[in-house]
Structure 1
Amino acid sequence: MLFASFRRSLPKRGARILGCVAGAMLLAGAPFARPAAPSEAQPGGLDTKRAGLGQRCPAVDIGRLPPLKAKAMEEARVAVCTTFASDEFARRLKGASLRLTCTDQKPIGGPELLYLLKSRIPDYWVIAGKPWRAEAATNPATRRIKIRNLRFDQWNAGGPDRSAMINTLAHEWTHLILDEQGNGLIEDAGHDSRTCADGELVSYRIGDLAEAVWSAGNER
């Protein structure tokens, strides 16, 4: 029996005491299958017109959020898309070699990962709440992201703390990417351990990199 997977990201600032908890029951020894290149006719295929970014910028359903939180999410969504499309983000990611999961032994390179980020993140919906032991939680099966209220408050307050939302959203977006079997491609269960450091994983590296690139251009 397979259960819906939930991924959780902790804030960059402060000690990471609690790890990301994944609720998926993984099949031991299941082979990793990289997703096929998308086409314009496929759901989640390239949409070069959206946002004028030359990439697919996922849309978000903000209908379950109150007005101020909905405004924050739409602004953050555009900010992350713009960051992913930037030359600086591509430059910093180019030489990367990262792990998709803590159990995956085959690393993914920067160019291939950038392609996934620009073309394979589907549309999603967001609710605000209190994810268990996390700042956010993603269910790739339903494309739902649950984000702690603090992140919305930080964004609406302005200032340098806005970058925390960039980190969280970029991190959670990686968990929306599916493999050819329709399962989550990028996991972080078991992270922050002796055998699986955060910096080795796609989800954490992308969150941190997006925050750094966005901050460099927005915090003056």
Structure 2
Amino acid sequence: MRHLLLLLTISIILSGCLSWAWRGYKKPGPDDFESVSPLTNCMKIGTQNLNEKRKKAIKEATADVCKILASDEFKQRVLAQQWLVSCDLINGQPDVMTGQQVFDLINKKIPDYSVHPRHPWNAIAQTDPANDRVAIKPARIKNWNATDKKERANLINTIAHETMHILSGSFRDGGHGTTECPDARLVSYGIGNLVEELWLASHP
């Protein structure tokens, strides 16, 4: 009985921590999604929770992310390796996709989603794919206004990373950063880092 009560208490605490990122979140109306790029596969962003300064930062950074996702160099880099979809083992084997499979998913129309400027519990950002929304720490959004391009690139990485979670619920990263599941091979972290690298290269 004590064990069940402990598990219930832990479950309630974890649920509260995960919901922390969505305090004050306003659901989008039909006119709240804004285009950020003329590229056909680029997502629209729900800006109903953003002030004008944050809206400008998110729209500009997202447009840059979409531009890189549509580039030939990005395509070649994605195709050049096999990717870990998650850190899970499937029948004892790594959960993998070919570069072509990953690129084909990214190359489709990315779902539209809303951005909420809220600091998630123990994270820079948190994605809720079921409700097409991403919470991003306000300080990370503020990075876009920095003079140091490496600071600005932090937001590029975050948007690319969280977009992978929106794109597919299969792209998970629990347990990442190990020898068996290195960030460079994992879709969410690997694509985020790759997009950041290519953005920095295009902004000397």
TM range (shorter): 0.7 to 0.9
Deviation at residue 51 of structure 1 after TM alignment: 3.5
Structure 2 equivalent of residue 80 of structure 1: 65
Per the normalisation by structure 2, the TM-score is 0.76
Deviation at residue 158 of structure 1 after TM alignment: 3.7
8 Å CA contact 1:138, 1:176 repeated in 2: yes
Percent identity, aligned pairs only, is: 36
Task: Look up the SS of the partner of 1:100 in the other structure.
Answer: strand
Distance (whole Å) between structure 2 residues aligned to residue 158 and residue 75 of structure 1: 15
Larger relative contact order (Cα-Cα within 8 Å, sequence gap ≥ 6) = 1
Structure 2 equivalent of residue 165 of structure 1: 155
Structure 1 equivalent of residue 184 of structure 2: 199
- Report Cα offsets for 1:129-169 as digits up to 9, x if no partner: 11111111101101110001111111022431111111110
- Report Cα offsets for 1:33-56 as digits up to 9, x if no partner: xxxxxxxxxxxxxxxxx9443x41
Structure 2 equivalent of residue 45 of structure 1: none
Deviation at residue 194 of structure 1 after TM alignment: 4.2
8 Å CA contact 1:96, 1:109 repeated in 2: yes
Unaligned runs of 5+ in 1: 4-20, 24-49, 179-183
Deviation at residue 186 of structure 1 after TM alignment: 0.6
Distance (whole Å) between structure 2 residues aligned to residue 189 and residue 64 of structure 1: 28
Deviation at residue 190 of structure 1 after TM alignment: 1.2
- Report Cα offsets for 1:18-65 as digits up to 9, x if no partner: xxx999xxxxxxxxxxxxxxxxxxxxxxxxxx9443x41010011111
Q: Tell me how large the CA RMSD over aligned residues is.
A: 2.3
Task: Look up the SS of the partner of 1:137 in the other structure.
Answer: strand
CA 1:82–1:176 in 2, change beyond 3 Å: closer, same or farther? same
Q: Which deviates further from its counterpart, 128-137 or 111-120?
A: 111-120
Unaligned runs of 5+ in 2: 1-10, 12-16, 20-35
1:116 to 82, 100, 105: 105
Structure with higher helix content:
2
- Report Cα offsets for 1:117-138 as digits up to 9, x if no partner: 1215210000111111111110
8 Å CA contact 1:22, 1:188 repeated in 2: no
CA 1:139–1:156 in 2, change beyond 3 Å: closer, same or farther? same
Distance (whole Å) between structure 2 residues aligned to residue 139 and residue 75 of structure 1: 22
8 Å CA contact 2:88, 2:95 repeated in 1: no
* Structure possessing the higher radius of gyration over alpha carbons: 2
1:148 to 124, 132, 137: 137
Distance (whole Å) between structure 1 residues aligned to residue 159 and residue 111 of structure 2: 13
